[in-house]
Structure 1
Amino acid sequence: MSPQKSDVLIVGGGFMGAASAFFLRQRGRSVTLLERDQIGQYASGVNFGNVRRQGRHLGQLDLANRSLALWKRLPELIGEDLEFLPSGHMRVCYDEAHIEELHAYAAAPEARELDLEVIAGKALHERFPFLGPEVKGGSYAPHDGHANPRLAAPAFARAAVRAGARVEERTEVAEVQKVGGQFHVTTTDGQVFIAEQLLITAGAWGAKLSQQFDEPVPLETHGPQMAVTEPVPYSLPTVIGVYTRIPEEVIYFRQIARGNIVIGGGYRSRPDMLNRRALVEPRSTINQIEQMRRLLPGAVNLNIIRVWSGIESYTPDSLPVISASGKVDGLFYAFGFCGHGFQLGPAVGDVMAELMSTGQTTTSIAPFDVRRFSTARVGAGCVSGGEALQPPAPPIPLAGDLASLQPRSTLS
């Protein structure tokens, strides 16, 4: 079987890989993308769908701003609608002491494009009367929103194919090596792919490939916990999430136009990496119901109609790996997005295409260099945004009344 050549090989067909393939084609590069299973099957297709900039590490906002500009253009750019809705995003807190932290974040120079508005007390509850009484304050980001994660990676992959890229699903990589200035990738079915540049976008499996090039990345894998309710009249356009240092209080929800409320957060599961499966934790669903009672009391009588999980990868500092290799010319990485990569997807693809085509990028990605794991010790990740496995929670009774789900024109 003759080797198959292209300018760039991409290993991993999630959002980052598919977007990179598309934008590389826009720059005239020949591209082959290899995906072991199906495009967008893992973290890219099962996440919450937040298109959120606020709450991110300040060093990510340059990249997130570039991404939002692309989200706004996606239908004309890729010819498909990912159901992006710039609905606004609220980051609320139960502790009054955290309101000052919301103010500090909003005042940071890096956050100036977010146009954040911090609201507290009576003013908050007058504007968002459906929030529970324990909510003390919040930060409103008018330009953030949400989209459908199940559509994203496949849509970008189809657009890449229409632009001339080659996308191979059900194609598992067996060996990667660099020979005579070119990367040789052999698959389990005996195919050989050759390229001068290699981009690893393999998500939770990215560290296994970087390790082969002596660039270890300490990844942990977790299964996010998601649920969706039966449909009710559409009245909650704003995405709402809790800012907290208590892992089990981390909860977020969004209502889609069809009326269903998507819920995420709380406890996470440990995926079965051998069989590539992640299970739903029943205690997580119970905890989500309890936390929704605090956050959105009117939703607690709704029926949960589906729950799901996926496989996400986390670095110790809660920042992704987006960079050229520090050791091997022509090798690049984009993985380890710590459960908050969905909004960044378009910009990551655009930035990687720019970096791989020109040797530099106009967007700051310095905090995400793979070499940080070999040159410095990293501490714990962002406490306010992360979740952690906790002892099982006791059973929680359901209570509440849907009457508090009132449409509010001020949120539209």
Structure 2
Amino acid sequence: MFDALVVGGGVMGAGTALALARGGMRVMLLDRKGLGTGASGVNAGTLSLQIKRASLVPYALRGRERWADAHRLLGVDVNYHMTGGLTLAFTDAEATILEARMAERKAAGVPLEIIPADRARAMEPAIGPRALLASYCPIDGYADSTATGRAYRAALVAAGVTLLEGDGVAALERTGAGFALRAESGAGFEGRRLVLAAGAWTQRLARMLGVELPIVVRFNMVSVTERIRRLATMTIGHATGLLTLKQSDNGTMLIGGGWQGRGDPERGETAIVPENFLMNLRLAATAVPALRGSRIVRSWIGYEAHVPDFLPLAGAMPGVPDAWLLACVRGGYTIGPCISELLATRILGGEPELPLFDPGRFNSVAAAA
């Protein structure tokens, strides 16, 4: 009998499992593929405070600090870079959006300033002439999201967490002692507590316990170029949030921004949408015109789940004692290391330093089958 069963091996699940184990619990973590192979490992790795909702800024600030200190906290380097970041506006309407959004984020605690386009080009000479206005945050940066699984695996093993990778959940039920989980392999496990942190698959798992969650899944496209000459030292974004752009140490340029592809989480199928792909690249080339001569090496899709108010599900599962949810965290790669610790604090009986986000706000208890 485990003290806690955690389903989902991304930043949310791995971070929660790690904090519970370090808090003295006997924990098992299960992931249908492998640690960090879902959204946590295929996102663009951008750690930008400028693109976070104002209500989530305190969580993002702490999450960024955790990534900056990952070598000490996890024991593995995640190639963290604090580069500073620029967000650009190309039209008067976008400039109005930029000023309004950044005012909210600055009031929430992001250290940023609105700067003229000429100053932005002095910082990053490759920025194109169409930029009219920019915002600058000195603590924006990025980490290598592909290192997520490796980093958390080392820490989880050291903390004594039992890992089961490559095996999904076939059945879940509430028992007198807690929860019984049957894996797709047929293996069975029991735990006194349950944490569902399975991203796009959280809705299906919650239904096994009679809880309906209003989760919608998005299919974000990311692309990477060939190695090119140094064009950018900072992260670069767009006022609408539809661009994230950064150049890695090896010279490749990573291009994201939430442009949508197609996918089926249950089947694991994804497909690039050509028109959206091209729009993403055109926006990137507007920001940095020298990109027009580079070639795209690879494009891929990551799943992102959200609920109608675009705030996290982080707290007790409604109507199911000793079950907890952590999912639908927009900007989850940045925020994950913080909010997973907060949830673990609550599960361990403490009071989190920042408030959680009650999943019961949707009145989501479904009638038992």
Whether TM-score is above 0.5 comes out as yes
Whether 1:283 aligns to 2:301 is no
Tell whether 2:197 aligns with 1:201: yes
Matched, 1:53 2:45: no
Measured against aligned partners, the alpha-carbon deviations of 1:351-380 in whole angstroms (never above 9, x if no partner) come to 122111124311122xx32122228xxxxx
**For residues 266 and 103 of structure 1, what CA distance do their matches in structure 2 show?**
21
Q: Unaligned stretches of 5+ in structure 1? A: 376-412
Using the TM superposition, give the Cα deviation of residue 244 of structure 1 relative to its aligned residue in structure 2, in angstroms.
2.2
**Are 2:181 and 1:185 equivalent residues in the alignment?**
yes
Q: Using the alignment, how far apart are the partners of 1:210 and 1:97 within structure 2?
A: 42
CA distance in 1, matches of 2:51, 2:297: 29
Which amino acid in structure 1 is aligned with residue 355 of structure 2? S
Q: State the match for 1:348 in structure 2.
A: 339
Structure 1 residues 330-371: Cα deviation after superposition (integer angstroms, max 9, x where no partner): 111111234x21111211221122111124311122xx3212
2:307 is the alignment partner of 1:315: yes
1:147 aligns with 2:140: no
1:318 is displaced (CA, Å) by 2.1
Give the one of 76, 86, 104 matched to 2:72: 76
Cα distance in 1 for partners of 2:320, 2:82 equals 40
Q: CA deviation at 1:319?
A: 2.1
Cα shift at 1:111: 4.1
Moved more, 234-243 or 119-128: 119-128
Could you tell me whether the CA contact under 8 Å between 1:62 and 1:110 is conserved in 2?
Answer: no
Instruction: Output the TM-score relative to the length of structure 2.
Output: 0.92
Q: Helix, strand or coil for the counterpart of 1:275?
A: coil
Contact preservation (8 Å) 1:61, 1:110 = no
Total equivalences in the alignment: 364
Match of 2:367 in 1: none
- Map 1:108-127; keep pairs closer than 5 Å: 108=104, 111=107, 113-127=109-123
Q: How many angstroms does 1:267 deviate by?
A: 3.4
SS of aligned partner of 2:28: strand
- Are 1:43 and 2:35 an aligned pair? no
The answer to whether 1:334 aligns with 2:326 is: yes
Structure 2: distance between partners of 1:104 and 1:133: 23
Q: Quick check: 1:298 aligned with 2:290?
A: yes
Aligned mates of 2:358, 2:43 — CA distance in 1: 24
Contact 1:200–1:334 under 8 Å retained in 2: yes
- For residues 219 and 322 of structure 1, the distance between their equivalents in structure 2, rounded to whole angstroms, comes to 13
Alignment of 1:219 onto 2:210: no
Q: 1:34 to 1:121 in 2, by over 3 A?
A: closer
Q: Percent identity?
A: 28
CA–CA distance in structure 2, aligned partners of residues 352 and 81 of structure 1: 24
Q: 1:113 to 1:266 in 2, by over 3 A?
A: closer
Q: CA deviation at 1:268?
A: 1.0
Q: Which runs of 5+ in 2 are unaligned?
A: 365-369
Q: Contact conserved, 1:105 with 1:111, CA < 8 A, in 2?
A: no
TM-score in terms of structure 1 length: 0.83
- Provide the residue aligned with 2:2 in structure 1: 6
